[in-house]
């Protein structure tokens, strides 16, 4: 087992943090003497992150993430909904499970989950190892049971070497599978956005005038909710309940399933609060919101500008002194500037980097 220790340098900006990591390993796995995978090496530079990743476990997790055999009928993998070129999100409001059934909520991106404290829109999990395995066992998403999953992995030849390299012997079990998936997903860390470069160097020439003006607007109107890693708070942001897909998770308040998960996690009954998402690579993660109702960033900005609804559980940060929704009243130029700033959060390398790509030679 090869482990590389990583140290962290965090630059807080009321929004997110900056990271750099290093790890290294390289080997190949063969089946019947033929190479099964592309390069499985895991190699970061500029180590400054105080955590560690095991490169062999990451390699196993990467293969599992892209392997359709983790679904009951072999039709979908984790990557079917979490697409690398979309910052590990999906480009539809609701993704399709193994039998073409729709997921109950929009597929979020997977960037920087290593530092998350809760997972899923409804906070149903507080542990990344638990979170990554839940879709595999979900009857709508991948449809497996623990027994089926372990038996299937045990019967696939190429996993013998991968599991042995990672854990010392070839025996598959739920704990090892979830640990490997979590190690891979946790390794997806964003470091190279335009805003990262600005914060690292304080070079005022990095951001355009529109982006700089958008940053000021963001600080004024947005960063009281979108703080730190963006996933430790929950809010009702004034959306009208949307049930166009007859989805109980988008109900009108009469359904006992509205926001199921928050009830268990923090005793939030029928308040329609969801986790505040990360804004990393937001230019690639449309459609937006927990139900994917907004197709564009312009629609999102328009919602907060003048369409926040006055519900009984509306977040206080979206209210004025009179207790009603507070319109931003942005000019069209300011809306464009805010969008320009949001796009500086995109780290394009995440979406093309071979280390997180499909490892199979297909």
> How much is the pLDDT for 264?
56
Q: Name, in order, each residue with C-beta under 8 angstroms of 155's C-beta and a sequence gap of 6 or more.
A: none
Taking only the tens of pLDDT, the chain with its 362 residues reads 444 333 223 333 333 333 333 333 444 455 554 668 888 887 654 455 556 788 999 999 999 999 999 999 999 999 999 999 999 999 999 999 999 999 888 999 999 898 888 888 877 888 999 999 999 999 999 999 999 999 999 999 999 999 999 999 999 999 999 999 999 999 999 878 999 899 888 898 999 999 999 999 999 998 888 864 444 565 555 455 544 444 444 444 434 444 444 555 556 555 567 788 889 999 999 999 888 889 999 999 998 898 887 776 677 787 788 888 888 999 999 999 999 999 999 999 999 999 999 999 88
> How much is the pLDDT for 13?
36
Question: Residue 326, SS3?
Answer: coil
Helix-helix angle 332-342:209-221, to 10 degrees: 90
| Phi-psi domain of 212 (left: phi exceeds 0; alpha: psi -120 through 50; beta: other) | alpha
At 6, list the tokens.
Answer: 């990583």
Peptide bond preceding 12 in cis form (omega within 30 of 0) = no
Place of tokens 């090496």: 41
Minimal CA–CA distance to 179: which of 142, 145, 128, 143? 128
264-297: b (≥16 Cβ within 10 Å) or e: ebeebebbbbbbbbbbbbbebbbbbbbbbbbeeb
Asked whether 177 and 149 are in contact (CB, 8 A), the reply is: yes
Place of tokens 């690579």: 281
Q: Hey, which residues does 34 pair with through a beta bridge?
A: 31
Distance of CA 4 to the CA centre of its chain: 24
Q: Tell me the C-alpha distance between 164 and 197, whole Å.
A: 40
Place of tokens 């449809």: 143
Q: Name, in order, each residue with C-beta under 8 angstroms of 71's C-beta and a sequence gap of 6 or more.
A: 77, 98, 136, 142, 143, 144
Residue 315: CB atoms within 10 A of its CB come to 19
Task: Find out if CATH 1.10.760.10 is the number for domain 204-345.
Answer: yes
Question: Residue 114, SS3?
Answer: helix
| Three-state secondary structure readout of 223-254 | CCCCCCCCCCCEECCCCCCCCCCCCHHHCCCC
Q: How many Cα atoms are found within 13 Å in the side-chain-facing hemisphere of 43?
A: 8
> How much is the pLDDT for 183?
95
Q: Hey, which residues does 89 pair with through a beta bridge?
A: 83
Q: Name, in order, each residue with C-beta under 8 angstroms of 234's C-beta and a sequence gap of 6 or more.
A: 123, 262, 266, 268, 273, 274, 275, 276
Asked whether 101 and 285 are in contact (CB, 8 A), the reply is: no
Q: Which helix (H) or strand (E) holds 52?
A: strand 50-54
Q: Tell me the C-alpha distance between 112 and 190, whole Å.
A: 7
> How much is the pLDDT for 268?
56
> What is the full DSSP assignment across 165-216?
HHHSS----HHHHHHHHHHHHHT------HHHHHHHH--TTSS-HHHHHHHH
> How much is the pLDDT for 51?
65
């Amino acid at each position: 087992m090869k482990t590389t220790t990583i140290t962290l340098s965090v630059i807080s900006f009321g929004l997110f943090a900056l990271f750099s990591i290093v790890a290294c390993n390289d080997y190949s796995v063969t089946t019947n003497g033929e190479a099964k995978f592309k390069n499985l090496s895991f190699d970061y530079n500029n180590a400054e992150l105080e955590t560690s990743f095991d490169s062999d476990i990451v390699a196993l997790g990467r293969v599992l993430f892209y392997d359709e055999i983790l679904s009951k009928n072999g039709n979908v993998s984790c990557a079917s909904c979490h697409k690398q070129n979309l910052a590990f999100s999906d480009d539809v409001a609701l993704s399709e499970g193994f039998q073409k059934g729709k997921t109950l909520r929009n597929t979020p991106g997977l960037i920087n989950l290593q530092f998350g404290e809760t997972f899923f829109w409804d906070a149903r999990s507080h542990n990344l190892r638990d979170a990554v395995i839940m879709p595999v066992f979900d009857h709508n998403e991948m449809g497996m049971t623990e027994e089926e999953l372990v038996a299937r992995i045990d019967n696939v030849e190429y996993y013998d070497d991968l599991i042995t390299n990672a854990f010392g012997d070839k025996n598959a079990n739920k704990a090892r599978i979830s640990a490997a998936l979590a190690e891979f997903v946790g390794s997806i860390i964003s470091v190279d956005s335009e805003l990262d470069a600005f914060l690292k160097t304080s070079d005022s020439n990095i951001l355009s005038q529109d982006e700089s003006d958008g940053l000021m607007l963001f600080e004024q109107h947005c960063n009281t909710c979108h703080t730190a890693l963006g996933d430790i708070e929950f809010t009702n942001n004034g959306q009208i309940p949307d049930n166009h897909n007859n989805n109980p998770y988008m109900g009108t308040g009469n359904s006992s399933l509205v926001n199921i998960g928050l009830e268990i996690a923090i005793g939030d009954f029928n308040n329609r609060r969801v986790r505040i998402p990360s804004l990393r690579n937001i230019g690639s993660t449309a459609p937006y919101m927990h139900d994917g109702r907004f197709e564009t960033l312009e629609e999102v900005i328009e919602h907060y500008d003048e369409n926040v609804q006055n519900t009984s559980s509306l977040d206080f940060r979206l209210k004025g002194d009179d207790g009603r929704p507070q319109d931003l009243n942005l000019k069209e130029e300011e809306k464009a500037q805010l969008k320009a700033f949001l796009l500086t959060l995109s780290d394009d390398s995440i979406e093309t980097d071979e280390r997180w790509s499909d490892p199979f030679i297909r």
